[in-house]
């Protein structure tokens, strides 16, 4: 036995000890299930062959299922995200030739770009609108993936990668927001980094790390510029490549089907070129044209130079964090910044690994029952979220009513339990009305929370005025 083991070479030894080339501490079965590749190559030539064969050449298949071709199935959201990332990298590189990451020169370099550089304002506008559209498109892509059940089976881990990509996209927008160094960006970043102070125990240390000190200044700008132009773009491109490769290894995008269809049926296929390639190319061109129209019609703008001694009123976070800032007005900071978002993130990451009976992938909303439940959840959020905001603004006084309790309980735990109880009661009531299995019920809860987030963001963008008081957008 010993002689046979040595005769088979290092591959047999590796299989016998269970390492299979996986990193220390990571089981070989998990390693292979994530990457779906043969045993890790040991020579440089073999490594290059694995990268070429399993990553580059396999990004797109030779043939694709014909039923995945129609635009209404995926709306091209994944390809749109990749196109927007390409525009951001291209325009970002051009902006780097002019921008100077210094508090004394950053604002002036943006002014010079807009006034003295030919097409400089256009390039900045394309970068601005591409970044904002990327957040919107990535969020829609997450919704599409969820509501078509494209997170089961081989696509489980790819859902996690997608969630991480969305987080990194938000980080890219956040770090780039400060770079103009005007009043809007300076105080928005001041607010968001200040939220980090509500992290238990490590809050102050995280603020110092993010700002490069106690206050926002030169070190902050250098940190944000470095992350925005190097670390984050490399991370996005790497995660995107891994994400697309995982889609390819899972057999492509999820195949649309009806609940009565047999999952074992093999769909008809067509050649990727030109059937899908031309559609992706046209979608990309239309998206670039739309970005150009926005860049020409709507200027990104530039406010007054940053003034650390004078805060604007109201001082708001970037629009994609205004839902979080709105939560701060209704819950204790620890709950609004740490606990509730943390629970939401853990829930997102856990979605593919919950038990579903049966798991349905490819059918929008699983079934007509699932569609009804999702619509009911969204409509309930449309009715209850503004009502909660109004009641908490003008009627409810948690700290006054529960004055004997610590603020973390009276302004955090109690209202959170009440809010979650209302959501649970609404979903339970809708479930009794329409029925539904576990996945359909989860869809209703997801639709409620996603709609509530959109409404809270809209309230923060349009209905919060001076002193963050509620008011109509058209009133001064």
Which sign, positive or negative, has the C-alpha torsion 330, 333, 339, 341? Answer: positive
- On the question of pLDDT at 51 being above 60, the answer is no
Structure tokens at 404: 């004997």
Structure confidence at residue 301 as a pLDDT band (50, 70, 90): confident
Mean pLDDT of 41-46: 66
* 108 compared with 260, residue with greater pLDDT: 108
Q: What is the pLDDT, as a whole number, of residue 106?
A: 94
Mean pLDDT of 344-373: 89
Q: How many CB atoms lie within 10 A of CB 273?
A: 11
Question: Which of 35-49, 60-74, 77-91, 396-410 is most confident?
Answer: 77-91
Which residues make Cβ contacts (< 8 Å) with residue 138, sequence separation at least 6?
81, 165, 166, 169
* 267 compared with 329, residue with greater pLDDT: 329
Which sign, positive or negative, has the C-alpha torsion 371, 374, 376, 379? Answer: negative
By DSSP bridging, strand 63-65 and strand 269-271 are antiparallel
Give the span between the Cα atoms of 417 and 422, in whole angstroms. 9
What average pLDDT does the structure give for the chain? 86
Asked whether 246 and 157 are in contact (CB, 8 A), the reply is: yes
Residue with tokens 């993936």: 145
Asked whether 331 and 414 are in contact (CB, 8 A), the reply is: no
Asked whether 229 and 321 are in contact (CB, 8 A), the reply is: no
Structure confidence at residue 147 as a pLDDT band (50, 70, 90): very high
Give the span between the Cα atoms of 226 and 210, in whole angstroms. 12
Asked whether 138 and 169 are in contact (CB, 8 A), the reply is: yes
Question: What is the CATH T-level fold of the domain 62-312, as seen in this structure?
Answer: Cytochrome Bc1 Complex; Chain C (1.20.810)
Residue range 205-221, pLDDT digits in tens:
989 998 988 889 999 99
- On the question of pLDDT at 58 being above 60, the answer is no
DSSP 139-160: HHHHHHHHHTTTTSGGGHHHHH
Mean pLDDT of 415-432: 91
- On the question of pLDDT at 27 being above 70, the answer is no
What is the phi/psi pair of residue 182, to 5°? -105, 180
Residue range 163-177, pLDDT digits in tens:
999 999 999 999 999
- On the question of pLDDT at 371 being above 60, the answer is yes
DSSP 40: P
- Residue intervals in the chain for CATH 1.20.810.10: 62-312
Q: H-helix or E-strand containing 166?
A: helix 156-177
Structure confidence at residue 9 as a pLDDT band (50, 70, 90): very low
DSSP 57: T
pTM: 0.85
Structure confidence at residue 434 as a pLDDT band (50, 70, 90): confident
Give the span between the Cα atoms of 140 and 394, in whole angstroms. 33
């Amino acid at each position: 036995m010993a002689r046979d083991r040595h005769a088979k070479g290092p591959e047999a030894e590796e299989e016998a000890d269970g390492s299979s080339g996986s990193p220390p501490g990571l089981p070989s079965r998990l390693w292979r299930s994530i990457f779906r590749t043969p045993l890790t190559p040991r020579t440089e030539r073999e490594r290059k062959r694995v990268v070429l064969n399993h990553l580059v050449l396999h990004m797109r298949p030779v043939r694709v299922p014909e039923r995945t071709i129609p635009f209404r199935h995926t709306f091209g959201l994944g390809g749109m995200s990749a196109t927007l990332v390409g525009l951001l990298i291209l325009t970002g590189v051009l902006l780097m030739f002019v921008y100077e990451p210094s508090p004394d020169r950053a604002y002036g370099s943006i002014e010079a770009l807009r006034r003295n550089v030919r097409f400089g304002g256009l390039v900045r506008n394309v970068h601005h609108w591409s970044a904002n559209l990327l957040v919107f498109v990535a969020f829609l892509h997450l919704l599409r993936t969820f509501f078509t059940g494209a997170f089961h089976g081989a696509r489980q881990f790819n859902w996690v990668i997608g969630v991480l990509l969305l987080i990194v996209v938000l980080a890219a927008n956040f770090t780039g927001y400060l770079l103009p160094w005007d009043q809007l960006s300076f105080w928005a970043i001041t607010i968001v980094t200040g939220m980090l102070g509500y992290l238990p125990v490590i809050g102050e240390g995280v603020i110092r790390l993010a700002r490069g000190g106690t206050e926002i200044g030169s070190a902050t700008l250098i940190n944000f510029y470095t992350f925005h132009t190097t670390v984050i773009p490399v991370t996005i491109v790497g995660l995107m490549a891994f994400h697309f490769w995982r889609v390819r290894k899972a057999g492509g995008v999820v195949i649309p089907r009806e609940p009565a269809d047999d999952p074992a049926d093999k769909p008809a296929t067509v050649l990727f070129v030109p059937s899908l390639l031309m559609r992706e190319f046209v979608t990309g061109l239309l998206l670039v044209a739309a970005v150009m129209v926005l860049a020409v019609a709507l200027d990104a703008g530039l406010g007054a130079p940053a003034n650390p001694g004078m805060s604007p009123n109201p001082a708001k976070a970037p629009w994609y964090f205004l839902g979080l800032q709105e939560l701060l007005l209704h819950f204790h900071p620890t709950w609004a910044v740490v606990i509730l978002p943390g629970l939401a993130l853990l829930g997102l990451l856990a979605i593919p690994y919950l038990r579903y009976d049966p798991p349905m992938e490819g059918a929008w909303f699983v079934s007509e029952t699932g569609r009804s439940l999702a619509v009911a959840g969204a409509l309930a959020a449309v009715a209850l979220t503004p009502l909660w905001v109004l009641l908490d603004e003008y009627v409810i006084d948690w700290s006054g009513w529960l004055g004997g309790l610590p603020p973390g309980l009276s302004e955090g735990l109690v209202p959170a339990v009440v809010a979650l109880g209302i959501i649970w009661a609404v979903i339970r009531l809708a479930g009794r009305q329409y029925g539904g299995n576990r996945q359909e019920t989860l869809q209703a809860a997801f639709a409620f929370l996603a709609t509530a987030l959109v409404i809270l963001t809209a309230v923060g963008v349009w209905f919060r005025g001076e002193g963050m008081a509620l008011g109509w957008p058209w009133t001064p």
